[in-house]
Amino acid sequence: MRLRRIDHVGYAVTDLDEAVEHHRRLYGAVVTHTETIERDGVREALLAVGESFLQLLEPIRDDSPVATFLRRHGPGVHHVGYGVADVTATLRDLRAEGIRVVDEVPRHGSRGCLVAFLHPKSTMGALIELVEDPSRPTDGIPGDARLRPRGLTPPLHRTLGTASRDADGG
Ligand code: CO
């Protein structure tokens, strides 16, 4: 499985302060991070929900992709961010499988993350952002191993055979 978690749901909004207040009123959500991403022409506010975020995006320029989205669709869900262990490898593999991408190579997103967008034409109509968050080292640990403390891998005989199961009682 390539995906580790839902990193965030991104909303296009026309007024960031109003959108933050809306989420505070409805859900008691509070802002955990704000940042202006010049390259994308947006100001963002992140509201933590468990280990995920709601990402509110307000354009700061008319040529921002979020500004274009707002003109076409009005405010609403803009994209979904999927947490991956290695965005470079995941993007490379998906491209090799013929998936259309928006970003040919990963680039820097907010929070110091490395990100890459996939094209909605290849992702059932949703704009998808792959997110590698260096502050979450557990993303690099696959599957069940995330639930165990590091260094405590199961003994080989437990994963390979049934014979030893009798020896230690099951
Ligand atoms: Co995003």
Report how far ligand 1's centroid is from the alpha carbon of 145 (Å).
27
Return d(Cα 148, Cα 152) in angstroms, integer: 7
Element (H, E) at 116: strand 114-118
Q: Please report, as a single letter, which amino acid is at residue 75.
A: P
Which top CATH class is 3-143?
Answer: alpha beta
Return d(Cα 71, Cα 80) in angstroms, integer: 20
Report how far ligand 1's centroid is from the alpha carbon of 54 (Å).
9
Query: HSE on the CB side for 133, CA within 13 Å?
Result: 19
Report how far ligand 1's centroid is from the alpha carbon of 62 (Å).
19
Whether 110 shows a pLDDT value over 50: the answer reads yes
Report how far ligand 1's centroid is from the alpha carbon of 133 (Å).
12
Q: Please report, as a single letter, which amino acid is at residue 50.
A: G
Report how far ligand 1's centroid is from the alpha carbon of 129 (Å).
6
Report how far ligand 1's centroid is from the alpha carbon of 3 (Å).
15
Q: What was the pLDDT predicted at 46?
A: 97
Report how far ligand 1's centroid is from the alpha carbon of 94 (Å).
19
DSSP SS3 for 15: coil
Which two tokens mark 103? 């970003």
| The model's pTM | 0.81
Give the confidence band of 120 by pLDDT, cuts at 50, 70, 90.
very high
pLDDT > 90: percent of the chain: 78
Report how far ligand 1's centroid is from the alpha carbon of 86 (Å).
16
